[in-house]
């Protein structure tokens, strides 16, 4: 199987414009992501998909290929499809450009799901959830079946709609979803050809489009998420943590 990793990195961001170029311990955040990603043993190639010349320059200086994509693409997934639609590969891994602590081992663990089960359409990550995460609409929850395949994703505290987790005595009815994805290339095309669907728009979660299409999404359980950066404040907190280490 041939695996390609793609880092979608656009300049515009409502909460943090120019985020991929923001400095973290003296290096652009995107450079940290590239350095972690290129430690993967399974990826044949790493591509940065961007709409900005300065981001392109950082990626090229870090030694990876750049594909320029349109600024008005509706999502990072569409940016990834635009960058890879003419490439020969089996699986495409979507690596978030705002998770500077991503590791090659994590990418390889996600990619290996497709080696174990070539019938998969998608793979993604989740970790044990806390009560605070269960209560927060900023945290995405996923309910799985006994094969660790996704049944549903929500910002609501599923499946605790009638009985709370404390009342049930078990918080393991769902997991906290982490937004790193791997897609079979053929399914990625099917996904991007489909317009957003009602359940996706209602929850503001594009992975629900995949479930609507009947996708088999395998959930890889990990112990914790790589720390992401959404705001300048998040960046400052992460830099403090990294300096401490």
pLDDT in tens, 122-180: 999 999 999 999 999 989 999 999 999 999 999 999 999 999 999 999 999 999 999 89
Is 184 among the domain residues? no
> Given 99, 116, 133, which residue is the final one in a domain?
116
Judgement on whether residues 107 and 130 belong to the same structural domain of the protein: no
Residue 137 and residue 158 in one domain: yes
Residue 160 and residue 111 share a domain = no
Residues 100 and 5 grouped into a single domain: yes
Could you tell me if residue 237 is inside a domain?
A: no
- Residue-averaged pLDDT of the chain: 94
CATH number at residue 46: 3.90.550.10
Residue-wise pLDDT for 36-57, tens only, equals 999 999 999 999 999 999 999 9
In a domain, 25, yes or no: yes
Q: What's the token pair of residue 84?
A: 């890879």
Q: Is the confidence at residue 84, as pLDDT, over 90? A: yes
| Per-residue model confidence (pLDDT) at position 58 | 97
Nearest Cα residue to 144 out of 118, 173, 168 = 173
- The pLDDT value recorded for residue 75 is 87
Of 116, 131, 149, the residue at which a domain comes to its end is 116
Contact between 182 and 123 under an 8 Å Cβ cutoff? The reply is yes
CA–CA distances in Å: residue 174 to residues 183, 222, 224: 22, 14, 15
Q: Are residues 211 and 164 in the same domain?
A: yes
135 and 64 belong to one structural domain = no
Residue 159 within any structural domain of the chain:
yes
Would you state the pLDDT for residue 152? 98
> 125 and 90: one domain?
no
- C-alpha to C-alpha distances, 162 to 144, 152, 158, 167, 202, nearest whole angstrom: 18, 17, 10, 10, 21
Please tell me the chain's helix, strand, coil percentages from 3-state DSSP, rounded to the nearest 5: 35, 25, 40
> Using an 8 Å Cβ cutoff, are 213 and 118 in contact?
no
Whether residues 69 and 16 share a domain: the answer is yes
Residue 50 DSSP class = E
Report which DSSP code applies to 103. Answer: -
Summarised one tens digit per residue, pLDDT across range 16-39 is 889 999 999 999 999 999 999 999
68 occurs within a structural domain: yes
Residues 4 and 111 reside in one and the same domain:
yes
* Whether residues 135 and 218 fall in one domain: yes
Same domain, 156 and 211: yes
State whether 128 and 209 are in the same domain.
yes
Position 32 scores a pLDDT of 96
For residue 239, tell me if it sits in a domain: no
The mean pLDDT of 113-130, rounded to a whole number, is 97
Q: pLDDT at position 228, please? A: 83
* Domains in the chain, number: 2
pLDDT-derived band at 230, boundaries 50, 70, 90: confident
* Residue 125 belongs to domain spanning: 120-176+193-228
Dihedral of the alpha carbons of 92, 96, 34, 98, in degrees to the nearest 10: 170
The reply to whether 13 falls in a domain is yes
What pLDDT is recorded for position 27? 96
Q: What is the pLDDT of residue 76?
A: 86
- Domain assignment of residue 187, yes or no: no
The domain boundary residue, chosen from 87, 116, 145: 116
**Structure confidence at residue 1 (pLDDT):** 94
């Amino acid at each position: 199987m041939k695996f390609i990793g793609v880092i979608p990195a656009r300049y515009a961001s409502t909460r943090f414009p120019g985020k991929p170029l923001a400095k973290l311990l003296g290096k652009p955040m995107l450079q940290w992501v590239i350095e972690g990603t290129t430690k993967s043993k399974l990826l044949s190639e790493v591509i940065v998909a961007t709409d900005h010349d300065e981001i392109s320059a950082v990626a090229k200086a870090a030694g990876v290929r750049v594909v320029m994509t349109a600024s008005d693409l509706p999502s990072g997934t569409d940016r990834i499809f635009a960058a890879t639609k003419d490439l020969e590969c089996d699986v495409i891994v979507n690596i978030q450009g705002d998770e500077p602590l991503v590791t090659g081992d994590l990418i390889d663990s996600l990619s290996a799901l497709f080696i174990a089960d070539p019938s998969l359409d998608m793979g993604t990550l989740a970790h044990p959830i806390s009560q605070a995460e269960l209560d927060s609409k900023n945290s995405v929850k996923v309910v799985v079946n006994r094969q660790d395949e996704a049944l549903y994703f929500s910002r609501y505290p599923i499946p605790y709609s009638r009985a709370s987790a404390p009342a049930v005595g078990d918080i393991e009815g769902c997991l906290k979803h982490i937004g790193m994805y791997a897609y079979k290339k053929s399914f990625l095309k099917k996904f991007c050809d489909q317009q957003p669907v009602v359940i996706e728009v209602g929850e503001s979660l594009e992975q629900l489009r995949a479930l609507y299409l009947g996708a088999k999404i395998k959930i890889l359980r990990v112990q914790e998420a790589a720390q992401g950066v959404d705001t300048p404040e998040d960046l400052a907190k992460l830099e403090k943590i990294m300096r401490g280490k």
